[in-house]
Amino acid sequence: MSHRASTTPRPNVAPGRAQFVDEMSIFLRAVDIELPGERAAFLAEVCGEDAALRSAIARLLKEHDREDHPLDRPIVRPDEADRSAEEFSGEATLRFAPPDVGETVGPYRLREKIGEGGFGLVYVADQLYPVRRRVALKIMRPGTETGETTARFEAERQALALMDHPNIARVFDAGATETGQQYFAMELVRGVALTAFCDGARLDVRGRLDLFVSICNAVQHAHQKGVVHRDLKPSNVLVTLQDGRPVPKVIDFGIVKAVGPKLTDQTIYTGFRAMVGTPAYMSPEQAEMSSEEVDTRSDVYSLGVLLYELLTGSTPFAGDRLREAGLIEFRRILLEEEPPRPSTRFSTLRMDLATTAAAHRRLEPARLASALRGDLDWVVMKALEKARGRRYPTAAALGEDVTRYIEGMPVEARPPSTAYRFSKFARRHKAVLGTATIVAAALVIGAGVSVWQAANARIAEGQARAAETLARAAESQARRSEAEADRSRDELEEFVDRLRRATDLLGKARALADAGDRAAALKAHDQATEAQPRYFLVWSERGLFFARLGLWDRAAADFARARDLGAPATGAEFLGVPQLFIYTNRSTEYREVARAMAAAEGRYEQTELRGRLAGPLSRSEAARLAVAAERLIEDDRSEDDRSDAGPESFDRRGRIPDGVKRYIAGWAYLRAGEPDRAIVRLEQAAADRRWYGYGIVSPLLALAYAEAGRPQAAAEAFEVAERTLDGYLADAAERAEGVPPMPWFDWVEFLLFHRTAVARFGSDRDDLEERLEALRRRTLDGLE
Amino acid sequence: MRVSDVTVVLQRIEAGDEAASADLLPLVYAELRRLARSRMRSEAAGHTLQPTALVHEAYLRLIGPEESAISGGWDGRGHFFAAAAEAMRRILIESARRRRSLKRGGDRDRRALGDPPEQEEDIDRLLDTDAALRKLESQDPDLAKLVELRFFAGLTVEEVAAALDLSPRTVKRRWAFARAWLGRELGSD
């Protein structure tokens, strides 16, 4: 507030309307001038002798450029848990105000918008300084995890600077505007997307393969510099004509990694379609979104898709359908379905499409099919192997094999052996094979035995016929599996439709629940489960809905179902679920989840820590969890000074409040048989009023005192626990939801601890279950 | 309140009935109050009130995606959001004042269990912004309206532009000035 005390007259203490209008017009003209020197000159000129006006404008401009402007912060810090509402209203996108043409971003003036994608907008822009040149400027939509994105962004821009290859668009600069929008300035490539170019220029197969080899070399160059593209697709390979020769340029190298949101299961919730960008070109391991780092072989897969499309005119799995598919189905297709070989794909294309595709390649359809059959088929299929170990190890190896094909040399890729093919076939058609194999085996064994037995010509003839029958059976089997593939494509379409409906219903259910209309929310949830019962989210969301109402059994049943369908056991969505399984005596489900959590060793967050602490645990395991919890406390300290977050259950970065960490550590010590240490942490946790569930510590503390041989303190703490419970029950009775105002997982943990404490200390209370049951009945009535 | 009330008022406004605007604010205000209260109650644990989401939610509830198509899309939306932004501002200021006096006055027992922790800073910021915005209002009521739409209803530049019947570029520039002006007024350097 320093300037209030200054002697400069404040122009807006009692400003006339004229002054206000002047200020606005000068300000608006001044902000159009980017160069600081020119701006100052302009101000000097318009303000003349009027020092007061000049300083008033200067302060406006200073405010204008301020990064931490009070009006930029939302009125109340949006909460992680409120994301559903945010999405529902589309607010996530509201924050991103795309700049207009004519504006400047950093040292770039925008000229023309040339593209828009899930990650941001692309403009043609003029760089104003230090050099003047025209560039392609990619402005990113702000991600949700800004801190992390920035770090990745920084790391990646270093790598990008190292790339220098004629077939890679150069990245000149990367930076962020004062409002935090990140941008990349890239070599402006006036080209056409790869496939469009090839079809438009009616490039023959040879011409296409030549282009493809150049692309492989470019990708190889980037890989050697440690940059993986992650989003290779025709629109990221632009073709220009240089001296009449087509030259491909790969754009957007490494940008997905630099600014793309991390692909996690959570992202299905925050706009799966936008995140994955182009599913048709995605490798199975990218689709799996496992913790396995995506590597260069993922690009090899995408190159395989590119080659497939260059040859046949379509991607191995129809792109538009994949794009619309839900995560689960999308993964299933990429991980399990074998794409048709290019030659097969081509011969099964609809006649009109086949003719177009052939015309684009300047070949008769029949000749194109035969050009594809054989070696080229195997090259493509090797690049498209599900297991990356079976793919070409490098982009260069793929390019070399294509070159071998061009030169008429034998290729490295081989048709898979019969045994290999059969094993794959068996995997895909387990059920069908059950009977088919038995029949076939009977025939073969029968035949073998007969040959061995007799030299009778008539029998031999019969065997020949049997062998023929077998061959025919195999052939029709193969035909049937193609028909099946077609059918599964139709099913996919149906699936996608249902998925879309389910997603809409989930959004609606959340909004209704937030608005307090629980009966209608439940109805929407039920409809979502009917619309797409194979989608785990419909179950876990309904489970969450029930859990928030304290309807534990229903919640647990839904979460169990979600887990069966592949819901990830780690991550914030499952916080509290294992505890719920324990509380509702679902030990089988608990064990399964706990195993999955234990497998995530080393990346412990509170979902895993609290989940595992609630169940059966050895002391040494508990001690390890205590170490992990202590580490969380440490992390927090190191972050304290740049903490911009108030006390909250979760802030946007998903940080856990200190009180919760101490509570987890205390709990872990108790389980590890170290009650004294437990008491230290639990007392700290109970004294910390900055988390909502601090009351839940009391029964745990009572147990810790008892364990430490302090019966007096234990009795007192248990007394507090009982009083806390009374308070919670009174709160719950007052609220329509029938639960106290705290996160549902805190409440279920409290009930768990309380149950344990009662078993230990005894209680004169005999109406707890009844009262909880009454609350549940009331809630259920409200849902009718 | 029934959904149709708001739709009817909006239709009257669109039909040129100037007086209808006066009827809109109380309706929207009541609905937002109701939503905010129910949300604060049910979400007291772990979640904070998010005005922008509330405004959009109120829109969906009062007008609904289907009805909005019938009642003329953006024209109606403009009036609605203008009313909603003003209503939201009032609700937030009332709530901030109430929380401020609660803090002075006690009622500590009710706070003991699970109430959201105070967000002192937010309250201050809100009240200061409101005061600064009132000054801006006295200079340029239209500009203040724009700020209300951006800040209290969380509309995008495009949405504000549609609501005020201005070009996005104009909105953006006017917002830049208002933002700088308010920042200076708030004296936060």
**pLDDT tens sequence across A247-277:** 999 987 766 665 544 443 333 333 333 334 4
Q: What are the residues facing B180 on neighbouring strands? A: none
Q: What are phi and psi of A33, to 5 degrees?
A: -100, 120
- pLDDT recorded at residue B118: 46
Q: Which of B32, B21, B22 is nearest to B76 (CA)?
A: B21
Give B131 to chain A, closest Cα distance, Å: 13
Flag whether pLDDT at A498 surpasses 80.
no
User: Mean pLDDT throughout A498-511?
Assistant: 74
- pLDDT recorded at residue A435: 38
Q: Is the peptide bond before A568 cis (omega within 30 degrees of 0)?
A: no
Extract the annotated binding site of A. Answer: 138
Highest mean pLDDT among A193-197, A474-478, A697-701: A697-701
- pLDDT recorded at residue B80: 77
Structure tokens at A50: 């009027």
Q: In angstroms, rounded to a whole number, what is the distance separating the alpha carbons of residues A375 and A413?
A: 7
Q: Which residue has the higher pLDDT, A423 or A405?
A: A405
Structure tokens at A583: 């509380």
Contact A234, A313 (CB under 8 A): no
B56 in contact with chain A, both atoms CB, cutoff 8 A: yes
- Helices B168-186 and B120-139: crossing angle in degrees, nearest 10, is 120
Report CA torsion sign: A660, A645, B154, B121: positive
Q: In angstroms, rounded to a whole number, what is the distance separating the alpha carbons of residues A454 and A142?
A: 79
Structure tokens at A156: 């990646």
Give B18 to chain A, closest Cα distance, Å: 28
Contact A782, A736 (CB under 8 A): yes
Q: Which of B139, B152, B137, B148 is nearest to B171 (CA)?
A: B148
Q: Where are the domains of chain A?
A: 2-65, 192-408, 429-477, 617-686, 692-784
B167 in contact with chain A, both atoms CB, cutoff 8 A: no
Which residues 6+ apart lie within 8 Å of A78 measured at CB? Answer: A86, A91, A652, B48, B50, B53
**DSSP per position, A81-111:** GGHHHHHHTTHHHHT--PPPTT-EETTEEEE
Calculate the alpha carbon distances from B107 to A223, A690, B99, B104 in Å. Answer: 64, 18, 11, 9
Give A99 to chain B, closest Cα distance, Å: 9
Calculate the alpha carbon distances from A447 to A419, A444, A653 in Å. Answer: 20, 5, 68
Residues of A145-165 as b/e, b for ≥16 C-beta within 10 angstroms?
Answer: eeeebbebbeebbebbeebeb
Number of H helices, E strands in chain A: 36, 9
The residue from A100, A199, A210, A231 that is catalytic is A231
Lowest mean pLDDT segment, chosen from A90-99, A191-200, A293-302, A402-411? A90-99
Structure tokens at A448: 């073998």
Q: What are the residues facing A176 on neighbouring strands? A: A182
Structure tokens at A376: 């080229």
- pLDDT recorded at residue B126: 81
**DSSP per position, B61-126:** HHT-HHHHHHTTTHHHHHHHHHHHHHHHHHHHHHHHHHHHHHHHH--HHHHTTTPPPP-HHHHHHH
Q: In angstroms, rounded to a whole number, what is the distance separating the alpha carbons of residues A752 and A578?
A: 12
- pLDDT recorded at residue B66: 47
Highest mean pLDDT among A140-144, A388-392, A446-450: A388-392
Q: In angstroms, rounded to a whole number, what is the distance separating the alpha carbons of residues A56 and A19?
A: 10
User: Mean pLDDT throughout A73-100?
Assistant: 41
Structure tokens at A352: 């009109």
Highest mean pLDDT among A29-43, A429-443, A614-628: A614-628
CATH 1.10.10.520 fits A192-408, yes or no: no
Q: Which residues of B touch A64 (CB under 8 A)?
A: 176, 179-180, 183
Instruction: Label residue A22 by pLDDT band (50, 70, 90).
Output: confident
Contact A496, A321 (CB under 8 A): yes
- pLDDT recorded at residue A636: 57
Contact B117, A690 (CB under 8 A): yes
User: Mean pLDDT throughout A112-133?
Assistant: 76
Lowest mean pLDDT segment, chosen from A28-42, A48-62, A647-661? A647-661
Residues of A636-656 as b/e, b for ≥16 C-beta within 10 angstroms?
Answer: beeeeeeeeebbbbbbbeebb
User: Mean pLDDT throughout A123-145?
Assistant: 75
Print pLDDT tens along chain B (189 aa): 444 567 777 777 767 676 666 677 777 777 777 766 665 554 443 344 566 667 766 766 666 554 444 444 445 667 777 888 888 888 778 777 776 666 554 444 333 333 344 456 667 778 888 899 999 998 898 999 999 888 888 777 887 888 888 888 899 999 999 999 999 998 754
Longest dimension (CA), chain B: 52
> What does the DSSP 8-state code read for residue A296?
H
- pLDDT recorded at residue A751: 93
Instruction: Label residue A674 by pLDDT band (50, 70, 90).
Output: very high
Rg for chain B, CA atoms, rounded: 18
- pLDDT recorded at residue A542: 93
B39 in contact with chain A, both atoms CB, cutoff 8 A: yes
A77 contacts B184? CB cut-off 8 A = no
- Helices A457-514 and B51-62: crossing angle in degrees, nearest 10, is 100
Q: Which residues of B touch A735 (CB under 8 A)?
A: 41-42
- pLDDT recorded at residue A275: 39
Listed by number, the residues of chain B in 101-160 with a beta carbon closer than 8 Å to a beta carbon of chain A are 112-117, 119, 121-122, 125-126, 128-129, 135, 139-140, 147, 151-152, 154-157, 159
Residue of B nearest to A62 (CA): B180
- pLDDT recorded at residue B147: 92
- pLDDT recorded at residue A430: 44
Residues of A503-516 as b/e, b for ≥16 C-beta within 10 angstroms?
Answer: bebbbbbbbbbbbb
B172 in contact with chain A, both atoms CB, cutoff 8 A: yes
User: Mean pLDDT throughout A432-448?
Assistant: 38
Q: In angstroms, rounded to a whole number, what is the distance separating the alpha carbons of residues A130 and A19?
A: 37
Lowest mean pLDDT segment, chosen from A43-47, A313-317, A440-444, A661-665? A440-444
- pLDDT recorded at residue B116: 43
Q: Which residue has the higher pLDDT, A421 or A403?
A: A403
A31 contacts B176? CB cut-off 8 A = yes
Q: What are the residues facing A137 on neighbouring strands? A: A123, A185
Q: Which residues of A touch B151 (CB under 8 A)?
A: 71, 75
B183 contacts A23? CB cut-off 8 A = no
- pLDDT recorded at residue A695: 83
Note the pLDDT tens digit of each residue in A608-645: 889 999 988 889 889 988 988 888 888 755 444 433 33
Instruction: Label residue A10 by pLDDT band (50, 70, 90).
Output: very low
- pLDDT recorded at residue B63: 64
Residue of B nearest to A101 (CA): B169
Note the pLDDT tens digit of each residue in A533-573: 877 888 988 999 999 999 999 999 999 998 888 787 877 77
Note the pLDDT tens digit of each residue in A512-537: 777 778 898 899 899 989 887 877 88
Asked whether the ipTM of the predicted complex exceeds the cut of 0.85, the reply is no
In this structure, which amino acid lies at residue A537?
L
B173 contacts A74? CB cut-off 8 A = no
Q: Where are the domains of chain B?
A: 3-186
Q: How many CB atoms neighbour CB B8 within 10 A?
A: 15
Instruction: Label residue A665 by pLDDT band (50, 70, 90).
Output: very high
pLDDT, chain A, mean: 74
- pLDDT recorded at residue A325: 58
